[in-house]
Amino acid sequence: MSNSDNDAKFCYSYDSKYTDMQAVEVGRPYQGVPAPINIEDAATYIQPWNGYDPQCTLDNKEQCQCLPSQTFNIKLNSEYNNVEVESDEWMSLACEAAKEGLAGGGGPFGAVILQIDDESNEVIRYWKNHNHVTKWNDPTAHAEVTTIRAACQQLGVFDLSKINKKDSKLPQPGQTSHCIIYSSAEPCPMCYAAISWARMPQLIFAATRYDSAVQGVAFSDEEIYEEMAKPYSQRVMMKVYQSSTENSLDAFNLWKRSPKTPY
């Protein structure tokens, strides 16, 4: 498919050297969720690290003295208890996508969606994408969202929890399949909601929200989490009002009394 064809479908142009919206065929079993991490003694546990320590290319080289390479994930309190697992090839691929996104001028986030056959557990294909916010001038173009868009568009569905063979625009061996997602970092509230709306039953992420917020990275979502927990009247990020409008329920009333495609 040419870039012009891609532009027509995705409404954005992109450099195919760094971005490939197309599915990659696989055809081998999914090995399942990686094994749980067994930390018998948290005081002596050392998290694996590949040793990647990039050279400083900032104009102000002195700044790099304050921005050392991080070697472990930051996990506060007990938020990640009982969900910590080892890595696998798909998690590594999502993290590679995040790094590739930087080369293409995007943000440091990547995602991989696997389509898995329900009967055979075969990974039929995968989509890999990264953050395009600054390249597309689209604040919603996070890695998870762009990957969901690509998968749904090419499959011709909006529900990734159960893809029927008769409905899919792409071939699949069994009658039904489903998708799961790997994200290089803990999804922001928008992306978590998008994954939920896509009905994907499984999410695995690598870096935590606290890793995203460290000095020099500075992608903190904590303000959003705190804001969403407050009543509207106490929120400070934006002024919010509920308007009593006579036609506010027209669309809902028409929806519930008309033939429709539920989603």
Given a contact cutoff of 8 angstroms between Cβ atoms, the answer to whether 128 and 104 are in contact is: no
* SS3 of residue 150 by DSSP: helix
Q: What is the DSSP string of 176-197?
A: EEEEEEEEEEPPPHHHHHHHHH
Catalytic residue among 100, 122, 144, 186: 144
Q: Which is nearest to 155 in space by CA: 141, 171, 142, 143? A: 171
CA distances 136 to 107, 133, 164, 217, 224, Å, are: 11, 6, 32, 20, 23
- C-alpha radius of gyration, the chain, whole number: 21
226 is catalytic: no
- Find out whether 65 and 101 touch, Cβ atoms under 8 Å: no
Residue 104 burial by CB count (10 A; 0-12/13-18/19+): exposed, middle or buried? middle
Q: State which amino acid sits at residue 120.
A: S
Question: Strand pairing of 163-164 and 24-29?
Answer: unpaired
* Token couple for 98: 């995040």
73, 124 contact by CB (below 8 A): no
Q: List active site positions.
A: 144
